[in-house]
Structure formats: structure tokens, C-alpha cells
Amino acid sequence: MAIADTEHYDDQSVTKAEIRTERFLVQGVRCGSCVNKIETALVSEPHIKSASFDSDRQNLTLIHNLDAPLADLNAFLASLGAYRAEERSLTRLFQARIIHYRPLIVMTCFVIIFGSVMQGLQGWQGHGFMGDLMAGYFLLFGMLKVANRRAFASAYARYDALASRSAAYAATYPFLEVSIGVIYLIWPESLLLNLLVGVLMLEKAWSVHQALARGQSLQCACLGGYFSIPISKVTILEDLLMACMAGAMIVGLS
């Protein structure tokens, strides 16, 4: 990597580039190992004072005194793997987020299609549609977890408060989600069911919040470990949305 040029004044070496903080969008970072490798390697460079990724593994904050930070950063990233840094812009951030969360977006579309088809067969009803969406969510996401339950349990136990304390809970949670989905198909008006879902989703959201507060960069287990999506505020939003839907179902029953 190129280093900052120096000049000598009164026998002291002074860098032309001042220390500054910049953020870059980095493509190709797939897992926590990539994050650790890049951060560790970057901070070993004399002209990089600090390098840290956000929890989404896309945004890199760099404190440095490089003369050509983007070019130098890309030259260094190329030596580590198939990574590339770009200047941040609203358009590129939006495009990167869409690509990054594409598996989750696709699965969500399947859930909406499932709910729409079920309502088309039964006649459109407000709470009925919500119940079908809940059924589709837990069936689809639960079956992904069941199909890859060992990988799911391992990933889930790293950040969920209950799963980290009980291996049995982590192992049986995929089957719990599938069971919840089946019950939503049969009896979506169950008060006990919606209370259980509300509590489960709030516990998941709190666990992710705590993991992010600790600065952890961990893979989200929501898709059964098949896709490398990190836990993030999107994960919290997903869980809170499901909790709110369960709450709306409870209100609708009163």
C-alpha cells in the first residue's frame, strides 16, 4: 500500500496528510471471519489508526492519514480477497442493502404470496389475512430452520438469550416455529398462540439488540443458516413487526 509522503522541518518528520475519519462501502464481506481478517490487517498498517465495520458488515469506518485512501484501501483489500471499497452515496447504499438482504426480501415476498393465495381461497378478511401471513412466515422460515437445524442451533445460540442458555431450546426452536405456523392455519384466533408469539418475538428482538450493543458481528439464523446475513437493526425490525402483528391479532379478539 502507498504511504503518506513526508517532509522534514527542523529535523522532524511531518506527514502531509492529516489524520481524518472516513466511511467506505465495502463489497464482498460475507461473514464475521472476513470482518476480523480485514480489520486486523488494516490496523497493522502504520498509516491506518483504526478500522471497524458496522454490524451490517458493509460500512467500514477508517481513521487514517493516507494520501489516496480509496485507491490505497482497494489495493490492500485486493491482497486479502475479493473485496472492493467504494465511496458512500445514497444510491449505492440503497443498492447494496437490496443486494445484501435479497434472500430475506425474496422470502418475505413468498410469505405475502402465500397469504394472498390463502385469502383468495377463503375470502378476504382483515385479521384472516394477517393470520395467513403469520402462518406463511412461521411455516416457511421454520422449515428452513428444520432442514438445517444443526447450523441454525449453532448460529442462534451465539446471540439469543434463551438459546445460549439451553441447547435443547435451540435444537427444538425450528420445530416450534413450524408448529406455530400450522396452528395459525387452523386456529389463528387463539389468544394463547398470539401471546406466545408476542413474547417469543420480543425476546428475539431484545437478544439481537443486546448482541449489537456488545458490538458483535454474527450471522442471523432467521433463514436457517443458508444465507450469510448478519444480525442488524433489520433483524430487530423483523421481530418487532411480528410481535406487533401478534398484538394486533390479540386486540382484534377483544
Domain 6-98, CATH: 3.30.70.100
pLDDT in tens, 158-174: 999 999 999 999 999 99
φ, ψ of residue 36 in degrees (nearest 5): -65, -40
For residue 177, the cross-strand partners are none
Rounded (5°) CA angle 99-101-239: 165
Average pLDDT, the chain: 85
* Whole-angstrom Cα Rg for the chain: 23
pLDDT higher at 11 or 188: 188
What pLDDT does 41 receive? 87
Query: What burial class does residue 122 get, using C-beta atoms within 10 Å of its C-beta: 0-12 exposed, 13-18 middle, 19+ buried?
Result: exposed
Please report the pLDDT score of residue 126 as a whole number: 55
Residue 171 has a CB neighbour count (10 Å cut-off) of 16
- Alpha-carbon span 123 to 145, nearest angstrom: 31
Give the pTM. Answer: 0.72
Contact between 222 and 238 under an 8 Å Cβ cutoff? The reply is yes
Contact of 29 with 84, CB cutoff 8 Å: no
* Residue tagged 439464523 (cell numbers): 221
Backbone angles phi, psi at 70, to 5 degrees: -70, -45
Whether the CB-CB separation of 178 and 139 falls below 8 Å is answered with yes
Instruction: Examine the pLDDT at 205 and tell me if it is beyond 80.
Output: yes
Domain spans, the chain: 6-98, 101-253
At 127 the pLDDT is 61
According to DSSP, the residues that pair with 228 across neighbouring strands are none
**Rounded CA separation 228/100 (Å):** 9
pLDDT tens profile 45-93: 888 888 988 877 788 898 988 888 888 888 888 888 888 888 887 777 7
Cell 454490524 belongs to residue: 55
